[in-house]
Each structure stands twice: as C-alpha cells, then as structure tokens.
C-alpha cells in the first residue's frame, strides 16, 4: 500500500510525522544504538514502538553554492532514507533531509544515472509524490551507482549532495525483511 499523499493537511501531518521519525533516525544513526546492520555505504536501523525499519546513508560529497560561488554553510544532518512502517502500511518510503529548510514551493531534483525524479518539500524534508513514485526511485537506486540531490535552501543556497548507492539494495532489502516484508 503506501502513504496517502492526497491533501495539504495530509502532507503537513506526514511532514511532522517524518520529521519526528527522521529525527529519531538521525539521532539513532549518530548514536548507533538502533543500528542492526551496515551494508557498505548504507546502514539499517530498527525501532520497536511503533515498529519501523529504515535504510539510511549520508552523502559522500556536498557542494554548496550561492550566486555561482562555492560557499561554506552550516547544515544539520543530510540523510537519504527508505522507511518501512508495517503499522501504517508504509513499504519503501523514500525521504531526504537536506539539513536546512528548503525554499518555499521548491522541489528537490534527484538524479540516478539517466533517471531524474522530483521530490516535493515541506520544511527540511523532501519525498516523492506517491508510493508509486517511491517504487520507481527505489528501482533506480537499486540499479544505480550514485544518487545526486540538488536543492535550494530558504536562504537561496543551492546544494548538491552526492550519495553512494553501494550497499543500498542489501540495506533496503534487510530493512524490509526486518519489518515483515
């Protein structure tokens, strides 16, 4: 099934829910208390109450530019996730946090090989428009070598974050299996 992405209210609730979940995921990644597996450049985490599993990775390269010039900026956690939440019938929800609030109304461009996807933003979070789009992104990620996410912050900084996909398939399959997939 997947997450219903219909109304603005649903998206706001989803953003709040993902922020809480991803905050715990980011904290878990830093503390490694819930990490159950490492698959090359990807890790697998599991929470019990409610049950959720996710594969997550940090970028291998981050480039920040403003007005065409490379700039140093402070960013929070920059992570790419795939979530599984059996209690909510979420199977393979792709989520990205850029470590800053995205520009209002902006989208994130996700490039995997020759495939390009658009992720919609809310606050510091971005995700595909539907569960069907999640599935397309995951398929491309399983076939690809890297994922490049290009976004714009609320302050006008353009960011380009490059994630390795080495270990992605093993991590996402492990996370799905641990959550009853």
β-bridge partners, 48: 51
**Dihedral class, residue 172 (left if φ above 0, else alpha if ψ from -120 to 50, else beta):** alpha
Residue 3 domain flag: no
- Return the pLDDT at 13: 41
pTM value? 0.82
CB 108 within 8 A of CB 118: yes
CB 131 within 8 A of CB 1: yes
- Return the pLDDT at 27: 46
Residue 1 domain flag: no
**Separation in Å, CA 12 to CA 1, 9, 78:** 20, 5, 21
- Return the pLDDT at 181: 65
What string of pLDDT tens digits covers the 181 residues of the chain? 333 334 343 444 444 444 444 444 444 444 446 889 888 999 999 998 888 999 999 999 999 999 999 999 999 999 999 999 998 989 999 999 999 999 999 999 999 999 999 999 999 999 999 999 999 999 999 999 999 999 999 999 999 999 999 999 999 999 999 997 6
Structural domain of 46: 8-178
CATH classification of the domain holding 159? 2.60.40.1880
Residue 24 domain flag: yes
- Return the pLDDT at 34: 87
Residue 2 domain flag: no
Domains: count for the chain: 1
Residues 6+ apart with CB under 8 A from 69: none
Residue 150 domain flag: yes
- Return the pLDDT at 3: 35
């Amino acid at each position: 099934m997947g997450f219903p992405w219909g109304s603005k209210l649903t998206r706001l609730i989803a953003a709040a829910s993902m922020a809480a979940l991803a905050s715990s995921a980011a904290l878990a990644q830093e503390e490694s208390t819930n990490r159950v597996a490492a698959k090359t450049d990807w890790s697998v985490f599991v929470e019990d109450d409610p049950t959720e599993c996710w594969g997550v990775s940090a970028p291998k390269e981050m480039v920040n530019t403003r007005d065409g010039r490379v700039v140093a900026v402070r960013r929070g956690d920059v992570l790419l996730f795939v979530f599984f939440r059996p209690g909510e019938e979420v199977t393979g929800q792709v989520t990205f946090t850029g470590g800053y609030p995205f520009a209002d109304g902006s989208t994130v461009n996700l490039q995997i090989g020759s495939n390009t996807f658009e992720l919609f933003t809310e606050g510091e979070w971005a995700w595909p428009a539907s569960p069907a789009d999640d599935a397309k992104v995951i398929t491309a990620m399983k076939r690809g070598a890297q994922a490049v996410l290009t976004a714009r912050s609320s302050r006008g900084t353009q960011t380009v974050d490059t994630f390795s996909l080495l270990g992605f398939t093993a991590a996402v399959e492990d996370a799905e299996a641990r959550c009853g997939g």
